[in-house]
Amino acid sequence: MLAGPQRVQVKPRTELDRNAIAGNMKLSLDDFDIGRPLGKGKFGNVYLAKVKKVDAIVALKVLFKSQMEKESVEHQLRREIEIQSHLKHPNILRFYNYFHDQKRVFLVLEYAPRGEMYKELQRCGRFDDQRTATYMEEISDALLYCHEKKVIHRDIKPENLLLGYRGELKIADFGWSVHAPSLRRRTMCGTLDYLPPEMIEGHTHSEKVDLWCIGVLCYECLVGNPPFETASHSETYKRITKVDLKFPKVISDGARDLISKLLRHSPTDRLSLKSVIDHPWVSSNSRRVLPPVPPPS
């Protein structure tokens, strides 16, 4: 008897020759046909693009150097490139390459056809147990992989999550993440509604900040807004440090159990990522589809 739904293996499609866009190959704008804009950011825009040589569809993130210099975020970009280029997981947006000209930096990224989770959540209002549990399994698996590589994301939120062509979750935007060999940091960063108590209180923090964030994410997916949201920053801070958690009736007992085990004031009391994947509510509701296995090269 299987606990929860059977994992479905999708047959692999023909793999594109990623070597044509990844690695040390010198690229320029001439190598791409630029399509429609996919999104706008503070430092530039993201466009749908086709790599001419291999007919591969990618997302091209165009960042303006002047804007980044003005905000002193070049180090953040370098960190994002350094970290993301080493990560290869079905639930992490692939970073293929980058190049630059006098005014701009171009990042060649995997294209996620279903767009931002944030917009999908706005459109739907909230997600059901199956969809949320699937996302929880996917994000926990991806973060387990990150933490094994000593990478803490620190800014998990719907705006930084994209959806692939099967609707699978993809962690994007590693601008706030850090490759911390010691896995302990003191910097305050991340999004207010998602900040864990230890970061608000100015304590050192570890990879366990990501456990708090996925607890907040699970709640927001099921309810439509984050658990500690208030009209003012100071009130939100207060609610977070007290872990003032209120569950609406719409949240099932299983989901409530999972969220309350992740949103613990003490980082060491939070449920591990492995335990999230194995949690009865996740395993009975998740409909995660395993990615296709590429043929042996």
pLDDT in tens, 133-192: 999 999 999 999 999 998 888 889 998 899 999 999 999 877 544 444 443 334 444 468
When the pLDDT of each residue in the chain is averaged and rounded to a whole number, the result is 85
Q: Which neighbouring-strand residues pair with 205?
A: 185
Binding residues for ATP: 42, 61, 110-112, 159-160, 173
Report whether pLDDT(44) > 70.
yes
pLDDT at 202: 87
Question: What b-and-e string marks burial along 144-155, b requiring 16 or more CB atoms within 10 Å of the CB?
Answer: bbbbeeebbbbb
The class that CATH gives domain 25-110 is alpha beta
pLDDT in tens, 200-218: 888 878 899 999 999 999 9
User: What is the pTM for the complete model shown?
Assistant: 0.85
Instruction: Band the pLDDT of 23: cuts 50, 70, 90.
Output: low
The residue from 31, 141, 155, 210 that is catalytic is 155
Question: What b-and-e string marks burial along 232-257, b requiring 16 or more CB atoms within 10 Å of the CB?
Answer: eeeebbebbbebeeebeeebeebbbe
Pick the CATH number of 115-285 from 1.10.510.10, 2.40.30.10, 3.30.420.40, 3.40.50.1820: 1.10.510.10
Domain borders along the chain are 25-110, 115-285
Cα distance between the two ends of the chain: 36
pLDDT at 293: 67
Binding residues: 42, 61, 110-112, 159-160, 173
User: Residue 291 burial by CB count (10 A; 0-12/13-18/19+): exposed, middle or buried?
Assistant: middle
The answer to whether 155 is a known catalytic residue is yes
